[in-house]
């Protein structure tokens, strides 16, 4: 975390763990090191309406995540304050960011906050609008510089103009590292010709892997982090309340694990460069998700999971 104040009451000390031979649990995003299991803020609010109780629970959950060693938070201005979990709301911009600031600022020194810009209500922002979005993220989070900013795309062929605009903001010191999201291999290559890319965030999960297998492999070859969204649940289950597949549940039962832990373990098995950012509004689920790195799936388990189609 690179801001003018550091919170010593929420300490994170990762260097000792890396020195103790646990480096496989970590990945380097440019000049910062993160745990491979982080936390995504998209489902932070839960299914209820916004209110003081929702915010207090979210604040407590974020602080608990830091206590458990999470040092990679993934957020966005358009993450919702209410409604079905995972649903995007442009009517409550910056809710998640402001809750993160309330819970954790001044931030622990080793905390990395990644955010994304691009989507606006009903359209993609123009390149000349990206600076305003970045400035709004800085203000909402209470930061001097953003650690990682993804350019989140939809419906465009060339990303050069948009990514070039973010690269200019990086050169001005507003952004430390750049990523791209929802992209194809050729778009990643286009971005890398403009500025270094430290991470790609695309949809990837049990049952929805094949379409992004190529870019996952390319990221591994290039030393770029691959950060799946919808890794914890298939898109059809993002709102919660829908049972997991029998095959996933059977593997979970055999290991004494949860279905979510199985899905996360499968995600992490795709390569050391793959980072998980499971989101939840439940402290119990948070703690379960963070234990997924200890679950070792057998070759037979992996073969079954590879064959699933959601």
Q: Any catalytic annotation for residue 79? A: yes
Instruction: List Cβ neighbours of 21 (8 Å cut-off, separation of 6 or more).
Output: none
Question: CA Rg, the chain, in Å?
Answer: 18
The catalytically annotated residue of 79, 107, 150, 204 is: 79
* Contact (Cβ atoms closer than 8 angstroms) between residue 125 and residue 117: yes
Q: What is the dihedral of CA 105, 108, 114, 117, to 10 degrees?
A: 20
Helix (H) / strand (E) containing 114: strand 112-117
Closest CA to 150 of 183, 122, 124, 114: 114
What are the CA-CA distances from residue 107 to residues 9, 26, 137, 142, 179 (Å)? Answer: 9, 20, 15, 9, 22
What are the CA-CA distances from residue 55 to residues 69, 145, 150, 170, 207 (Å)? Answer: 22, 25, 26, 32, 33
Closest CA to 273 of 210, 310, 218: 218
Q: Hey, how many other C-beta atoms are within 10 angstroms of the C-beta on 274?
A: 20
Catalytic residues: 79
């Amino acid at each position: 975390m690179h801001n003018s104040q550091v919170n010593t009451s929420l300490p994170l000390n990762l260097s000792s763990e890396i020195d103790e031979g646990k480096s496989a649990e970590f990945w380097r995003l440019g000049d910062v090191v993160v745990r491979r299991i982080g936390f995504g803020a998209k489902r932070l609010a839960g299914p209820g309406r916004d209110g003081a109780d929702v915010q207090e629970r979210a604040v407590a959950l974020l602080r608990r995540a830091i206590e458990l060693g999470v040092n990679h938070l993934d957020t966005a201005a358009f993450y919702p304050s209410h409604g079905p979990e995972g649903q995007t709301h442009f009517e409550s911009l910056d809710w998640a960011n402001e809750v993160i600031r309330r819970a954790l600022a001044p931030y622990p020194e080793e905390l990395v906050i990644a955010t994304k810009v691009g989507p606006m209500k009903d359209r993609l922002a123009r390149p000349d609008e990206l600076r305003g979005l970045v400035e709004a993220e800085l203000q909402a989070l209470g930061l001097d510089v953003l650690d990682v900013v993804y350019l989140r795309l939809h419906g465009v062929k060339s990303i050069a103009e948009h990514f070039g605009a973010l690269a200019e903001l990086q050169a001005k010191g507003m952004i430390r590292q750049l990523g791209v999201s929802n992209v194809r291999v050729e778009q990643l290559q286009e971005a890398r010709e403009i500025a270094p890319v430290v991470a790609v965030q695309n949809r990837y999960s049990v049952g929805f892997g094949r379409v992004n297998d190529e870019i996952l492999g390319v990221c591994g070859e290039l030393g770029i982090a691959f950060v799946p969204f919808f890794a914890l649940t298939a898109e059809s289950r993002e709102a919660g309340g829908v049972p997991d597949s029998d095959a996933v549940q059977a593997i979970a039962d055999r290991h004494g694990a949860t279905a979510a832990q199985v899905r996360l373990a499968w995600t992490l098995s795709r390569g050391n460069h793959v980072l998980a950012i499971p989101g939840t509004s439940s402290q119990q689920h948070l703690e379960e998700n963070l234990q997924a790195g200890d679950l070792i799936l057998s070759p037979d388990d992996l073969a079954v999971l590879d064959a699933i189609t959601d």
